[in-house]
Structure 1
Amino acid sequence: MTSGDIAVLANPSAGRGRHRGLLPGVLQRLGAAGHAVQLLTASNSEEAEKACHRAVAGGAVALVAVGGDGTVHQALQAAADRAVGFGVIPAGTGNDFARCTGVPDEPLAAADAIRAALAEGREHRVDLAHSVGTDGEGRWFGAVLAAGFDAIVNERANRMRWPRGPRRYDLAILLELTRLRPRIYALEIDGVHHGFEGTLVAVGNCASYGGGMRIVPASDPADGLLDVVTAAPLSRVTVARLKPRLRHGTHVTDPRVRTFRCRQVRLHADGIIGYADGERLGPLPLEVTVRPGAIRLLR
């Protein structure tokens, strides 16, 4: 990587590969900014993050993630709190971070926006969330941390080999609904204890996860705050009825749902694995802090 290059992390399997053929055009559009474009190579997520760190340390003028929220999550680990431009080409199934931060939906239009931002020397400062687990390791995330029933479903789906695609998550939901039970949560928000028994906890820097489900609908990644949503014990029927309301964010009007705004969250419950940006963070407890303007978004 040469200083001043544009480094690109691309996931060709993102969005079930439907944007695979667009990558050459994306690279060409980015190159029109007058910088050399280097495509990072990696065979797994660990290698991808290391490649991003090397690119930023090598003086890349911009780090661009081509893929979905998982690819964005990997690239954020290198770009957060660093003097490097960050670009997103939405090519996944969800693209929640891109949608929430005003990135154009169409991949080539997003590439043109990044090129123009570099040429004009402009950037948008966007907040990120920073989480620390029991191992003391920090992880950045851009969209939402799931730490309730949704995280349990994610963990179940990741253990399943069949079926592939979205149906795996649908089956995981059905299987976990049969085991649905409330958990005892230790929850501290800006130093104030709000422990409760419940089914759902989500911490948002952005409003949505899972491809547009507005789990924390008031969340704004430019306000210097995190949004937290919790839900009291819910029955299987209630969970099924609330799910359609997530698309519009109207579930927060339910009296069993509580919302908070804060700068720091400490969260624990036995047997829960936290997921952020759809990626596995690790077991609770977790401490999450907002970092205002941590990323220099090019759009």
Structure 2
Amino acid sequence: MTADDHLSGPVAVLANPAAGRGRHRALLPGLLDALAGAGRPVRLLAASSPADAEAACRTAVADGAGALVAIGGDGTVHRAVQAIAGTDVPFGPIPAGTGNDFALDTGFPADPREAANVIASALREGRSRSVDLARMVGADGTERWYGAVLAAGFDAIVNERANRMRWPRGPRRYDLAIVVELARLRPRRYTLRLDGVPHELDAVLVAVGNCPTYGGGMRICPDADPTDGLLDVVVAGRVNRRTLVRVKPRIYQGTHVSHPLVTSYRARTVELAADGITTYADGERSLTLPVTISAVPGALRLLR
């Protein structure tokens, strides 16, 4: 695809220095230099919190940014996407986080420097390609977008538990949250409407994917394709603790979908309801169920 007039404006860059536990922090000057090699002004956005980051991206787009680049993980990408979904402003994710699922699933190199060079080349050549995003709307009308996967079951519950915990620090907090929620594991009643067709089911895990992976490479929706205009829904039904522990490692290869208690669906619009579930989109805390999720074809232009 040939880019339009937006590509003549400055390149706004959202960088999360804490992404990936800070291991790529020293790369930032070099990444900015690589982007500047496209011959366009590069403006680093100031943000001290996720909400600030999202607001800074929206302001940059409103002020005429020619492109938006996010340096970080899926959380950083998620904030940037809120500002550019459905616009003509092209986007480049540079994977530098703990989880880089959206960038890798849409074909960007895993190495941040290589990804920056790909984006700079696309800027120079005026090249971009469109991919889908998922748009979700809550019961109160709140709208959010995501690029990778929405978790609305066990994984979302674990994230919610971990975020409420003050101890321990780091990844051990998430591990402890898994142990606690495994002990409390029970199927929940979900109401699922797929393109208007209702399904009532009991499940412990529900994921709605625009892309295949979440959680740093777990192929929860292995057949999801961000260019097909559809959402993939993967449901693990009345699974007990032992079975969940046994099946969960298979998610990295995507082979869990062959288990008899796992069901896959595909739809353009997914209405999802259950009591007491706060969803996580791209790994970020998002809307409380019920939500309506729609695949929006070509909602994002990628600098590739």
Indicate the TM-score class for this superposition, using the shorter chain for normalisation.
over 0.9
For the residue of structure 2 that corresponds to 1:122, the secondary structure is: coil
Q: Partner of 1:153 in structure 2? A: 158
Equivalent runs, 1:24-103 vs 2, <5 Å: 24-103=29-108
Q: Partner of 1:209 in structure 2? A: 214
| Residues 138-193 of structure 1, C-alpha deviations (whole Å, 9 max, x = no match) | 10000000001111001001111222222211111000011111100010001001
Out of 148, 161, 167, which is 1:162 matched to? 167
Distance across 2 between alignment mates of 1:98 and 1:166:
22
Out of 245, 254, 270, which is 2:259 matched to? 254
Distance across 2 between alignment mates of 1:164 and 1:215:
26
Q: How much has 1:75 moved relative to structure 2?
A: 0.1
Q: Partner of 2:280 in structure 1? A: 275
- State the one-letter code of the partner of 1:134: A
Structure 2: gaps spanning 5 or more residues: 1-7
Out of 138, 141, 163, which is 1:133 matched to? 138
- Structure 1 position 179 matched with structure 2 position 184: yes
Matched residue count: 297
- Structure 1 position 13 matched with structure 2 position 18: yes
Distance across 1 between alignment mates of 2:201 and 2:212:
23
Distance across 1 between alignment mates of 2:167 and 2:45:
31
Distance across 2 between alignment mates of 1:243 and 1:197:
18
- State the one-letter code of the partner of 2:255: T
- State the one-letter code of the partner of 2:52: E
- State the one-letter code of the partner of 1:268: A
Distance across 2 between alignment mates of 1:134 and 1:280:
16
- State the one-letter code of the partner of 1:129: A
Identity of aligned residues (%): 65
Q: Partner of 1:264 in structure 2? A: 269
Distance across 1 between alignment mates of 2:55 and 2:31:
23
- Structure 1 position 4 matched with structure 2 position 9: yes
Equivalent runs, 1:96-115 vs 2, <5 Å: 96-115=101-120
| Residues 93-122 of structure 1, C-alpha deviations (whole Å, 9 max, x = no match) | 110001100011111111111110011111
Q: Which moved more, 1:10-19 or 1:133-142?
A: 133-142
| Residues 185-210 of structure 1, C-alpha deviations (whole Å, 9 max, x = no match) | 01000100111011111000010100
For the residue of structure 1 that corresponds to 2:17, the secondary structure is: coil
Q: Partner of 2:232 in structure 1? A: 227
Distance across 2 between alignment mates of 1:69 and 1:161:
23
Distance across 1 between alignment mates of 2:61 and 2:83:
7
Q: Partner of 1:190 in structure 2? A: 195
| Residues 188-242 of structure 1, C-alpha deviations (whole Å, 9 max, x = no match) | 0010011101111100001010000100000011111100001111111011001
Q: Which moved more, 1:98-107 or 1:158-167?
A: 158-167
Distance across 2 between alignment mates of 1:9 and 1:250:
35
Distance across 2 between alignment mates of 1:177 and 1:95:
26
Q: How much has 1:135 moved relative to structure 2?
A: 2.1
- Structure 1 position 291 matched with structure 2 position 296: yes
Structure 1: gaps spanning 5 or more residues: none
Distance across 2 between alignment mates of 1:139 and 1:282:
8
- State the one-letter code of the partner of 1:279: E
For the residue of structure 2 that corresponds to 1:116, the secondary structure is: helix
Distance across 1 between alignment mates of 2:298 and 2:157:
31
- State the one-letter code of the partner of 1:285: P
Q: Please tell me the root mean square deviation across aligned C-alpha atoms, in Å.
A: 0.8
Report the TM-score when normalising by structure 1: 0.98
- State the one-letter code of the partner of 1:37: V
Extract structure 1 runs of 4+ deviating beyond 6 A. none
Report the TM-score when normalising by structure 2: 0.96
- State the one-letter code of the partner of 1:69: D
